[in-house]
């Protein structure tokens, strides 16, 4: 497209005359300000402002005046209606209260024969009287408040004064009548008299006067109701007037605003139409030498001048734009080539990333396969330490519980809750330090399973970093080492048992060798004396040496029997063989044998309580138990002291108690009292091996019994053995088998 040069445009603008249409449009514009009664130089803003101000002013003033006038009428009508409505409501409530009080008072007569019902009715009457007084005060307040709006205020005040005196006289006379009636002592004869008194009061002047006032109150209510209806009608009329005034003022304001808007739009549109015509011709014909006429000095005239300058600049810019377009096409061509090259590079990079993603997916699948086959639990944790992945082995190892909704909950979300309470603080502190510092983590702790089982695990963890050095999370393993811990515990127990057996063996060798050496020395010395000095010894002296040899031999035999019995009990070779026996006679014979064999001056006390002549027990085991307990009581108590044996049988069990007045057993030694070869610290100077109580404990345990000890140093010791009894029918059946 070709355009004339700039000098040609200027020449044509200055030489081309206006058309007839333009002249007529200009004449119209020149005439409008005169008809508008404004100066030609006034701006469009001022024209529009004056017209809008006038329209809005008329609308606001008219609407405000109509609203205020209608609102004044409405307020007066509303106040009159509210006053009448409140008076009607209060007077209606007062009338109902008076009628209710009269009704309750009339019920007094038939209820005199029923004192409880009479008292109940009297309370209702007093309540209504109190309500009447409260309503009367409210009516008085309403009369004073609405005195300006109510036309019947004088009448109502006069009625209230009469009503006050009447109700007071009525209540006082009724109280006097009721005070004369002793309701608690009414007899049949007195009831009729009381009813006559109440009937007379019902027909008294005060009651009739109250009825008359109630009738007057009804008339007042009718009058108040009529006034309320009139006020309601007046209020509706005021509202209609308010609406009429408001709508009329609004309508006039709208009409005036429309007229002013039309005149203003015509004054503004005519110059703009001339500018628009020139703009359309310039756009359609691509003629940038046209110029719009500037007929006024307002914004439209300035707009025409600016538009003429704009057309000249557009012509110049069009030429420059053509040059720019050609330059831009060259640049677009170059940029297109660059974009093609960039797209090719992006396609290559996308292909490479797809290959990397496939390789990463394969690597992840390989990791999951290895993780699934791993015998060790593997987990991944985020930066905060929360578990994000657990392999099947760790899921199988992790405790599970059932939530309230029935779903199974694993330890992934809150694994620290499953750590044993004794290890939880330590594990939590170590794990928090690992998360904070980012170092390696290794620890062993216990897991508390839901079914109560405890399992040991060994956990390891290391931080997981990206290539840029950013911490991505943590990776670690959890290994079940419960069997290893159990094996270690069994090894420790075995080592402890071996040490105990070694100590027991050493103690046994030391004790037995010492205990055997003494009687063997006696046997050897007595034998040598008899052998070398037989021809010089008297028969009595020889007999003494023979008795020493026999005593030492019996002691050695007894010691060997105890060791053999303890060995049998430890290897479960010693089994009970219960049989029927006379327990009382057995105990008496045993005490006699002990007293003869011990050559002691102790006093034996025996007490027996039972309703059964015979019991079913193992006599051999019972003899071991009582012999050792009685021997210890004799050995560790002073000569001349008392040893007591008490036997109690209740049919289900037998209780044996042996009590002495000896040296007692320290509390520290009572914990190890039934261990083999153990002797109390205060008994080391007294001969003994330390097997007796161990044998007693084994004999009691074999029979399913219990043994307890009560002892204080220097005050004596009491051993109590409880053995269960086997019924005779069961014993007979076992013997038959």
Segment among 119-133, 138-152, 411-425, 468-482 with least mean pLDDT: 138-152
pLDDT digits (tens, 9 = 90+) for 426-457: 888 888 888 787 778 888 888 887 777 888 88
Does residue 56 register a pLDDT over 80?
no
Query: In DSSP terms, which residues pair with 475 in a beta bridge?
Result: 380, 462
Contacts 24+ apart (CB under 8 A), 74-79: 74/235, 74/238, 74/239, 74/242, 76/234, 76/238, 77/231, 77/234, 77/235, 77/237, 77/238, 78/235, 79/146, 79/149
Does residue 36 register a pLDDT over 50?
no
Reference 632, options 693, 695, 708, 705; nearest CA is 693
Mean pLDDT for the chain overall: 72
Which residues are within 8 A (CB) of 652 and not within 5 positions of it... i.e. 6 or more apart? 724, 725
Alpha helices by DSSP H, 286-397: 299-373, 392-397
Which residues are within 8 A (CB) of 174 and not within 5 positions of it... i.e. 6 or more apart? 105, 201
Angle between helices 205-285 and 44-106 (to 10 degrees): 160
Q: Would you state the pLDDT for residue 4?
A: 41
Instruction: Report DSSP state, residue 504.
Output: H
Q: Would you state the pLDDT for residue 40?
A: 47
Does residue 719 register a pLDDT over 90?
yes
Reference 9, options 312, 318, 314; nearest CA is 312
Which residues are within 8 A (CB) of 95 and not within 5 positions of it... i.e. 6 or more apart? 214, 217, 218, 221
Backbone angles phi, psi at 351, to 5 degrees: -60, -45
Q: How many whole angstroms from its chain centre is CA 20?
A: 91
Alpha-carbon distance of 169 to 648, in angstroms, equals: 96
With bands split at pLDDT 50, 70 and 90, how would you rate the model's confidence at 190?
low
SS3 275: helix
SS3 720: strand
Which H/E stretch holds residue 452? none
Q: Would you state the pLDDT for residue 717?
A: 92
**Higher per-residue confidence, 43 vs 527:** 527
Whether the CB-CB separation of 549 and 522 falls below 8 Å is answered with yes
Alpha-carbon distance of 315 to 321, in angstroms, equals: 10
Angle between helices 299-373 and 6-15 (to 10 degrees): 140
Strand 642-649 relative to strand 603-610, pairing: parallel
Q: Would you state the pLDDT for residue 153?
A: 58
**Higher per-residue confidence, 7 vs 483:** 483
Segment among 26-40, 50-64, 268-282, 522-536 with least mean pLDDT: 26-40
**Higher per-residue confidence, 382 vs 683:** 382
What's the CA dihedral at 46, 47, 50, 53 to 10 degrees?
-100
SS3 51: helix
CA-only gyration radius of the chain, Å: 64
Does residue 646 register a pLDDT over 80?
yes
Alpha-carbon distance of 549 to 529, in angstroms, equals: 12
Alpha-carbon distance of 291 to 305, in angstroms, equals: 9
Percentages of the chain per state (helix, strand, coil), in multiples of 5? 65, 10, 20
Alpha-carbon distance of 585 to 583, in angstroms, equals: 6
SS3 249: helix
Alpha-carbon distance of 577 to 555, in angstroms, equals: 27
Does residue 693 register a pLDDT over 70?
yes
Query: In DSSP terms, which residues pair with 419 in a beta bridge?
Result: 447
Q: Per the structure block, which two tokens stand in for 400?
A: 């599970």
Alpha-carbon distance of 416 to 443, in angstroms, equals: 14
Backbone angles phi, psi at 647, to 5 degrees: -125, 130
Does residue 603 register a pLDDT over 70?
yes
Percent of the chain with pLDDT over 70: 61
Whether the CB-CB separation of 264 and 47 falls below 8 Å is answered with yes
Domains of the chain in sequence order: 71-250 (1.20.58), 374-400+412-480 (3.30.450.20), 482-574 (1.10.287.130), 575-736 (3.30.565.10)
Q: Per the structure block, which two tokens stand in for 208?
A: 């009739």
How distant, in Å, are the alpha carbons of 398, 578, 702 from that of 653?
Answer: 50, 13, 15
How distant, in Å, are the alpha carbons of 453, 462, 491 from that of 479?
Answer: 17, 15, 21
Q: Would you state the pLDDT for residue 156?
A: 65
Segment among 381-385, 396-400, 401-405, 720-724 with least mean pLDDT: 401-405
CA angle 642, 648, 651 (to 5 degrees): 165
Segment among 290-304, 319-333, 721-735 with least mean pLDDT: 721-735
pLDDT digits (tens, 9 = 90+) for 252-264: 777 777 777 777 7
Backbone angles phi, psi at 480, to 5 degrees: -80, 110
Q: Would you state the pLDDT for residue 606?
A: 93
Q: Would you state the pLDDT for residue 729?
A: 45
Alpha helices by DSSP H, 410-462: 421-437
DSSP string, 469-498: S-EEEEEEEEEE-HHHHHHHHHHHHHHHHH
Alpha-carbon distance of 722 to 656, in angstroms, equals: 6
Angle between helices 188-202 and 205-285 (to 10 degrees): 60
Segment among 103-117, 220-234, 592-606 with least mean pLDDT: 103-117
Query: In DSSP terms, which residues pair with 643 in a beta bridge?
Result: 604
Alpha-carbon distance of 490 to 682, in angstroms, equals: 36
Mean pLDDT for the stretch of residues 652-671: 88
CA angle 91, 94, 98 (to 5 degrees): 140
pLDDT digits (tens, 9 = 90+) for 277-321: 777 777 777 776 777 777 667 777 777 778 777 777 777 777 778
With bands split at pLDDT 50, 70 and 90, how would you rate the model's confidence at 656?
very high
Confidence (pTM): 0.34
Does residue 396 register a pLDDT over 70?
yes
pLDDT digits (tens, 9 = 90+) for 341-363: 888 888 888 888 888 777 777 76
Query: In DSSP terms, which residues pair with 615 in a beta bridge?
Result: 581
pLDDT digits (tens, 9 = 90+) for 154-175: 666 666 666 766 777 777 767 7
pLDDT digits (tens, 9 = 90+) for 459-509: 888 888 877 778 878 888 888 888 888 888 888 877 776 676 556 555 655
Alpha-carbon distance of 12 to 16, in angstroms, equals: 6
With bands split at pLDDT 50, 70 and 90, how would you rate the model's confidence at 561?
low
Angle between helices 619-635 and 692-702 (to 10 degrees): 150
């Amino acid at each position: 497209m070709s355009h004339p040069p700039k000098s040609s445009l200027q020449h044509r603008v200055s030489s081309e005359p206006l058309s007839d249409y333009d002249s007529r449009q200009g004449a119209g514009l020149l005439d409008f300000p005169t008809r508008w009664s404004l100066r030609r130089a006034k701006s469009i803003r001022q024209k529009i402002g004056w017209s809008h101000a006038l329209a809005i002013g008329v609308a606001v003033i008219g609407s405000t005046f109509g609203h205020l006038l209608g609102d004044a009428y409405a307020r007066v009508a509303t106040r009159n209606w509210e006053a009448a409505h409140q008076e009607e409501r209060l007077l209606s409530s007062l009338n109902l209260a008076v009628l209710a009080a009269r009704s309750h008072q009339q019920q007094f007569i038939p209820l005199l024969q029923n004192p409880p019902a009479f008292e109940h009715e009297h309370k209702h009457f007093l309540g209504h009287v109190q309500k009447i007084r409260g309503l009367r005060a409210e009516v008085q307040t309403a009369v004073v408040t609405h005195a300006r709006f109510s036309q019947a205020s004088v009448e109502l005040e006069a009625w209230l004064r009469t009503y006050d005196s009447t109700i007071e006289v009525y209540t006082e006379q009724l109280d006097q009548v009721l005070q004369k009636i002793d309701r608690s002592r009414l007899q049949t004869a007195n009831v009729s008299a009381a009813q006559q008194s109440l009937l007379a009061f019902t027909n008294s002047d005060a009651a009739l006067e109250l009825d008359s006032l109630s009738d007057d109150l009804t008339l007042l209510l009718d009058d108040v109701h009529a006034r309320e209806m009139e006020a309601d009608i007046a209020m509706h009329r005021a509202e209609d007037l308010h609406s009429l005034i408001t709508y009329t003022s609004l309508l006039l304001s709208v009409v005036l605003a429309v007229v002013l808007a039309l005149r203003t739009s015509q004054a503004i549109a005519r110059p703009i139409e001339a500018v628009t015509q020139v703009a359309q011709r310039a756009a359609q014909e691509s003629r940038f030498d046209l110029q719009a006429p500037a007929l006024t000095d307002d914004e439209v005239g300035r707009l025409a001048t600016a538009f003429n300058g704009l057309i000249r600049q557009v012509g110049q810019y069009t030429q420059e734009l053509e040059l720019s377009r050609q330059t831009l096409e060259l640049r677009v061509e170059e940029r297109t080539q660059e974009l093609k090259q960039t797209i090719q590079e992006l396609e290559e990079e996308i292909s490479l990333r797809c290959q990397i993603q496939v390789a990463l997916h394969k690597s992840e699948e390989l990791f999951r396969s290895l993780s699934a086959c791993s015998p060790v639990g593997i987990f991944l944790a985020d930066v905060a330490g929360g578990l994000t992945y657990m392999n099947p082995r760790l899921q199988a190892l992790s405790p599970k519980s059932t939530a309230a909704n029935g779903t199974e909950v694993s330890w992934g979300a809150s694994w620290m809750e499953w750590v044993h309470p004794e290890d939880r603080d330590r594990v939590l502190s170590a794990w928090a330090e690992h998360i904070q510092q980012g170092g390696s983590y290794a620890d062993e702790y216990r897991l508390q399973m839901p079914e109560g089982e405890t399992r040991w695990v060994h956990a390891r963890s290391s931080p997981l970093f990206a290539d840029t050095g950013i911490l991505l999370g943590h990776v670690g393993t959890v290994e079940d080492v419960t069997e290893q811990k159990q094996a270690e515990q069994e090894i420790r127990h075995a080592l402890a048992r071996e040490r105990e057996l070694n100590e027991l063996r050493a103690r046994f060798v030391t004790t037995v060798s010492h205990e055997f050496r003494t009687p063997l020395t006696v046997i050897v010395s007595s034998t040598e004396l008899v052998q070398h000095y037989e021809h010089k010894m008297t028969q009595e002296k020889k007999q003494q040496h023979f008795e020493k040899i026999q005593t030492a031999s019996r002691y050695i035999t007894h010691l060997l029997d105890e060791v053999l019995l303890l060995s049998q009990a430890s290897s479960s070779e010693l089994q009970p063989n219960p049989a029927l026996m006379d327990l009382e006679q057995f105990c008496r014979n045993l005490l006699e044998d002990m007293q003869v064999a011990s050559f002691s001056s102790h006093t034996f006390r025996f007490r027996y309580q039972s309703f059964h002549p015979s019991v079913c027990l193992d006599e051999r085991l019972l003899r071991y138990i009582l012999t050792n307990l009685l021997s210890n009581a004799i050995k560790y108590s002073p000569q001349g002291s008392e040893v007591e044996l008490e036997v109690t049988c209740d049919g289900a069990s037998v209780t044996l108690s042996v009590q002495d007045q000896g040296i007692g057993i320290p509390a520290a030694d009572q914990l190890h009292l039934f261990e083999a070869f153990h002797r109390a610290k205060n008994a080391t100077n007294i001969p003994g091996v330390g097997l007796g109580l161990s044998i007693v404990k084994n004999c009691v345990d074999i029979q399913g019994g219990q043994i307890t000890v009560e002892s204080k140093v220097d005050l004596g010791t009491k051993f109590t053995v409880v053995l269960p009894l086997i019924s005779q029918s069961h014993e007979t059946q076992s013997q038959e088998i």
